[in-house]
Amino acid sequence: TCQMDGATPRCVPKAPSCQDLRCPPGSTCRMDRMTPRCVPKALTCQDLRCPPGSTCRMEKSTPRCVPITPTCQDLTCPPGSTCQMEKSTPRCIP
């Protein structure tokens, strides 16, 4: 790149950056001191598809599918009954 040295333009080496490096899919560029490097991309819940009845939660820095724990909000009770949690299960009680 060109830099002025007093009143004289000079070509000087340009420090490499992440803009100069193309990383393969599944990785991203991070600067390691003064050097750009491709490192594995950290996965998030947006990268993981969970099966029905489960949802994604981050455990430390890893996305995991965990079972959905039903609550009374998930259960519609018939008239004359109400929902109560018995241990970890919602039940309709008269």
Task: Please report the beta strands in 7-81, taking only residues with DSSP state E, as ranges in sequence order.
Answer: 8-11, 27-32, 35-40, 54-59, 62-67
What pLDDT is attached to residue 70?
A: 85
- 57, amino acid identity: R
Q: Dihedral sign, CA of 74, 54, 39, 1? A: negative
pTM recorded for the entire structure: 0.43
CA–CA distance, 60 with 70 (Å, rounded to integer): 24
What pLDDT is attached to residue 89?
A: 87
Question: Domain-by-domain residue ranges, the chain?
Answer: 1-41
Q: Dihedrals φ, ψ of 89, to 5°?
A: -120, 130
What pLDDT is attached to residue 66?
A: 93
What is the full per-residue pLDDT of the chain (94 aa) written as tens digits? Answer: 888 988 999 998 888 899 888 999 888 999 998 899 999 888 889 888 999 889 999 998 889 999 988 889 888 999 999 999 988 889 999 9
